[in-house]
Structures are given as structure tokens and as C-alpha cells.
Structure 1
Amino acid sequence: MRVLIVEDELYLAEAIRDGLRLEAIAADIAGDGDTALEQLAVNAYDVVVLDRDIPGPNGDEIARRLAAEPASPRVLMLTAADRLDDKATGFESGADDYLTKPFALRELVLRLRALGRRPAASTPPVSEISGVRLDRFRREVFRDGHYVNLTRKQFAVLDVLMTAGGGVVSAEDLLERAWDENADPFTNAVRITISTLRKRLGEPWVIETVPGVGYRMTT
């Protein structure tokens, strides 16, 4: 899962980002509405964590723009506006969920995962291919009934491959979906992560390299 945090309080935004990364959720930060729209135009996000009171286009306006676009990311408004009327306005603007400050990071993570189970493409919470079973909500992976202990990044990469349902995923797409915006496009991180992921899943290999194209789950 990849998330955009739209929050003008830098320390809070960085704390959320770091906490999400510990939960295998790639996260980027935008400190104002204009930057958020720029990042949304060039990156693919699953959920936007959106403060309402931000410089530039405010949170309500961004939510309305996203709601008008096909296959747009889901919106979780994270704001100090806690009156019922505030919440009603937020949902009317296009929010899919609403969490008020102060909040517990654990609750934010649970809400993000719940939203991630219901993206536009209707990805199911559990996928199974070639004996590999991935549970997105419980963050568990099994191979032929045996639990597989994966790092956060390995889980994120496997999630992208499983979501593709056997289709080929390029290294560039894996960087975009499983890493954040600071990832070096020339890094060998994808190749290394795929290699260690194969070893964790065990033989026979279930992740195939398609030379010059990318990677896919064998079916």
C-alpha cells in the first residue's frame, strides 16, 4: 500500500510517515494543497490521508476533485474538526473515512488497511496463487499451509505481485507501488528484494523473471 499524507504540520506528518513505514505502508508527504495535487498527478496512491485546513486548495476541495475522477485513491480525512457537522461536510466532500485529532497511530493503520481492502479494483483481502496465500489485513503469508516470515518490504512487493494475478509487473511499477518517492529509480533494491523473497517462499520458485519486462507470479 502507498499513502500520501497531506498535512502542513511537518513534525506530525513525519511522525505519521515513519509510523506507517514501520507497518509496511509506503508514505509520502505533501505540506499544502498544490503540492498534494502535483504528487497525485504523477504517483499512484491507494489512500490519501488528508488534513482539511491546509494552505492552497484545502482538504475539502482536494476530496471533491478526487471524488470526480475515475479510479482515484480513497480519502481518509485526518483533522481536528470534530463536530458532527464537520464530519458530515467532510463525507459530503468525498471522504471515505474520517478520523479526528488527537488519534492513535494504531487506529489510523487499521483504518488504512480497511480502506486498502476495498480499492477501486476490488482487490480481495486474501489472495492465493500457486500455493502462496497472502492475507492483507492480518499481514500474513503462507506457502502450502506453512507460515512464511517476511520483512515489511518483502510483504509489500509480494502484495503487488499477487494483486497483478499472474500479470507481469515491471521493476518501475514495483518501485512506484512498494517504495516511496525517495526511492532511487536506478537502485537494485527491487532485484535484491525479489531474490530474498524467492528464498523466503522456498522452492519451487513461484516468482518468475520475465527478461527485459519484469516479474510475475507463476500460475
Structure 2
Amino acid sequence: MFVSSLNSYTNRVQILLAEDNQKLARLTKQSLVEDGFVVDIAKDGNEAIDKFDINEYDLVILDVLMPEQSGFDVAKKIRKVDTTIPILMLTALGEIDDKVKGFYAGADDYLVKPFSFEELTLRVKSLIRRGKRADPIVLQAGKLTLDTNKQMASYDGRQLTLTAKELGLLNYLLVNKGRVVSKTELIEHVWDMNYDGLSNVVETYVRYLRKKLRQCGASGDFIKTMRNLGYIIEDLHVS
């Protein structure tokens, strides 16, 4: 369970670190433990899945290039059973396509090797802070509701099965309902990235959301596209 004070209770935060480089894994664990976290190490993708199935974690750190199963594969499998746990990818790959692939797999953030342990700790604390369980807030637009505490959305009483990024996108659009949100703003707030031409990421996830909403009976323009401006969910009222 996420804690209410990171400074006082980080020792209660359980982290799964999947890294096949034994020296780097050992040093990374040592740094995180010194900052008060509890860390389990998995040496490959299979062991990461096994440990995740057995234990309860608050955050997962995945190296991309691992034996048995890649970090991308592990992230996808984790997302099938847990849509909310923060996932941080460690990668030596700096190409845009690899970053996009990681986010599509379900990662919430990434860190390119070589990295400083100070930066790693800051990223971890930021992800945990965003993932903390808060007082329940229910966002609504027409027949659509989103319980931000339970991370559950429904339309006209029918539950939507959404990925972590789909939930994040829907959350941000609902928080800003009645206002046009640009692709740049969505990338910066939902994907925590600077805009660098990855507008197809937003378009792809909006398409996913629209499809799932239509399956529950929503109209095709529930999330409206404002040409050259962005997207909007209007401040609808239940009829």
C-alpha cells in the first residue's frame, strides 16, 4: 500500500528491480535501500514475473534488455493483472521508437543508462507520489464516471476495461472537461514527456478510448477532436 509520507515511511515501499547486470543491480539496490526502500532483485524476465506473482509491490523497475523475457514483455504481462502499479523502464536505448514501445507496453516513465542514483531516486519518489491512494474523487461527464481512487471507469453502469495510460488520458480529459486539451499538453502530463513529434501516441490512445466507450454505448464523438487544437470532453449532463 502506498504511504502518506514518503520522507517518513519509504521503508514500507516495496520495489521489484529486474536487472540482469548483477553489479548494476547490486549497486542500484544498495542506493534505494539507503533511501529507505525495500528492494527485491530479479535477474531475468521470468524471475521478474514469478516474483511479481508471489509478492505485493508498490513499484516495478525493469531493464529493457533482459534474458528470457524483455522488459517490454514483462511490462505487458504486469499490465494484464495490474493497471495502476507504477513501472519505470531502465534502458540503454535512446531512440524515440524504443521510448514509444515502452510506453505502449505500459511503462509510466523511463531512465536512460547511464543514470545517476540520485535521479533514479527522484523518479521513483515521483512515481510513488503520483500513485498514492487518495480520498476518492469521482469525475463525471454525462453517463461516464471515473473513480480516481479505485481507478475504475464506467459508462451507463457498464465497466470499462482500461490500461494505465488509457485511465491517465481519460482522467486528464475529465479533469479538464469543457476545455480543449492539446496533444502537447497530454504528452507532457499523461506521458511525462517533452513534445518531440510523438503525436501519434495520443491519437492511438484516443482511438482506443473511443472504441471502448462505443462498446458501452457512447457516441463516437464523446471525445471530440478539435482540428489543429486537440481534444475535448464536453461538460455533459445526464439526460
- 1:111–1:15 Cα change, 3 Å: same
- Counterpart CA distance in 2 for 1:32 and 1:82 is 21
Q: How many residues align?
A: 124
- 8 Å CA contact retained: 2:18, 2:41: yes
> Counterpart of 1:69?
81
Q: How does 1:120-135 map to 2 (within 5 A)?
A: 121-122=133-134
- 8 Å CA contact retained: 1:71, 1:120: no
The alignment status of 1:100 with 2:120, answered yes or no, reads: no
- Counterpart CA distance in 2 for 1:122 and 1:65 is 26
- 8 Å CA contact retained: 2:46, 2:68: yes
Taking every aligned residue pair, what percent have the same amino acid on both sides? 39
C-alpha displacement of 1:101? 0.1
The alignment's TM-score, normalised by the length of structure 1, stands at: 0.54
> Counterpart of 2:224?
none
- Counterpart CA distance in 2 for 1:85 and 1:26 is 32
1:58-104 CA-to-partner distances (Å, cap 9, x unmatched) read: 11011111222235521100110111111111111110001000001
Structure 1 segments of 4 or more deviating over 4 A? none
The alignment status of 1:83 with 2:95, answered yes or no, reads: yes
The alignment's TM-score, normalised by the length of structure 2, stands at: 0.49
Unmatched tracts of structure 1, length 5 or more = 125-219
The alignment status of 1:43 with 2:55, answered yes or no, reads: yes
- 8 Å CA contact retained: 1:72, 1:120: no
- 8 Å CA contact retained: 1:78, 1:101: yes
Kindly indicate whether structure 1 or structure 2 has the higher relative contact order, using CA contacts under 8 Å at least 6 residues apart: 1
> Counterpart of 1:136?
none
C-alpha displacement of 1:37? 0.7
Q: How does 1:192-203 map to 2 (within 5 A)?
A: none
- 1:94–1:120 Cα change, 3 Å: farther
Partner amino acid, structure 2, of 1:50: L
C-alpha displacement of 1:121? 3.3
Unmatched tracts of structure 2, length 5 or more = 1-12, 137-239
1:19 to 31, 34, 49: 31
